[in-house]
Amino acid sequence: MTPKLLVEDVAKDYLIPIIDRVSFAVAAGDFVCLLGPNGCGKTTLLRIIGGLEPATRGLVLLDGEPIIAGRPHRHRIGVVFQEDRLLPWLTLEDNVALVLKPLGTPARERVEIARRYLGLVGLAGFESYHPGRVSGGMRQRAAIARALAIEPDVLLMDEPFGALDAQNRRIMQREVRRIWEETGRTILFVTHSIEEAVGIGTTLVMLSARPSRIRELIRNDGRDRGTLIDDLNTMIMEEVERQQGARP
């Protein structure tokens, strides 16, 4: 079976090498969590996969088609960032509907689709609210609805719950898992929380210290969660120390 997403020998240098050589494959419908020490290049990797940033070397293939920053491709890539990036002067419904405009969706359908996805993320009844009138968790729900509304081939999420308090974070983790089960989307989710990754991902990718490589790729298939969390904590501590040791 050809993978949905293929990351092949991707490397990225800024002033220093950030990503060394990273390769992994994602099957359609997988929920992949990317873990790694702060500053190891998780956001950079996600931006390369989303075609927002050019790779220095290597290849990203989505359904076999190369994704290259600045070049058009026929795929749809949804992105959710740590900040919701909603337009404050638009209602939640208009924020979601807006992204359908460039796709040529007729106005009436845009509203229908926006309502459907706001309903899916638990925001039915809040369509006409402005972002400033709802909680941070609700704004992040709207950002997820907006990313899903384009029916993305892959949904990229970069620490989407990083700005939420612990309670809301737990609620949103459960919610994103439910949304994934209901939509069957392929998700790539960056987090620095091991508990979060183990709680929601089907596949866990642990990156090493910068310049990052894949340290470990684990199928999260129900083996003892406690042991898995302990193992991953040990790994990330080693990588954090390695990264600190590498500093000039």
Ligand X SMILES: Nc1ncnc2c1ncn2[C@@H]1O[C@H](COP(=O)(O)OP(=O)(O)O)[C@@H](O)[C@H]1O
Q: Which residues bind ligand X (CB under 6 A)?
A: 14, 18, 36, 38-44
Q: Of ligand X, Mg ion, none, which one sits near residue 10, judging by CB under 5 to 8 A according to partner kind?
A: none
Minimum CB distance to Mg ion smaller for 93 or for 159: 159
**Cβ atoms < 10 Å from Cβ of 160:** 25
- Please say which residue, 28 or 52, places its beta carbon nearer to ligand X: 52
Strands (E), the chain: 5-13, 17-26, 31-35, 57-62, 65-66, 77-80, 154-158, 187-190, 203-207, 212-219
What are the distances in angstroms from CA 229 to CA 26, 76, 107, 153, 196? 22, 33, 47, 30, 10
CB of 48 to ligand X, least distance (A): 10
The tokens for 99 are: 């992204």
Distance CA 228, CA 223 (A): 7
Selection from Mg ion, ligand X, none that 44 binds (CB < 5 to 8 A by kind) is ligand X
For ligand X, the closer CB: 42 or 146: 42
Q: Whole-angstrom Cα distance, residue 68 to residue 57?
A: 11
* Of the candidate residues 23, 43, 183, 193, the single one contacting Mg ion (CB under 5 A): 43
Q: 127 vs 239, which CB is nearer to ligand X?
A: 239
Q: Which two structure tokens, joined as six digits, stand for 230?
A: 């302990």
SS3 245: helix
Nearest-approach distance from CB 212 to Mg ion, in angstroms = 12
Nearer to ligand X, 40 or 232 (CB): 40
Find the shortest distance in angstroms from Cβ 225 to Mg ion. 25
Q: Which residue is nearest to Mg ion (CB)?
A: 43
**231: Cβ contacts below 8 Å, ≥ 6 apart:** none
Nearest approach, Cβ of residue 147 and ligand X (Å): 18
| Shortest reach from residue 38's CB to ligand X, in Å | 5
Residues of the shown chain interacting with Mg ion in the complex, contacts defined by CB under 5 A: 42-43
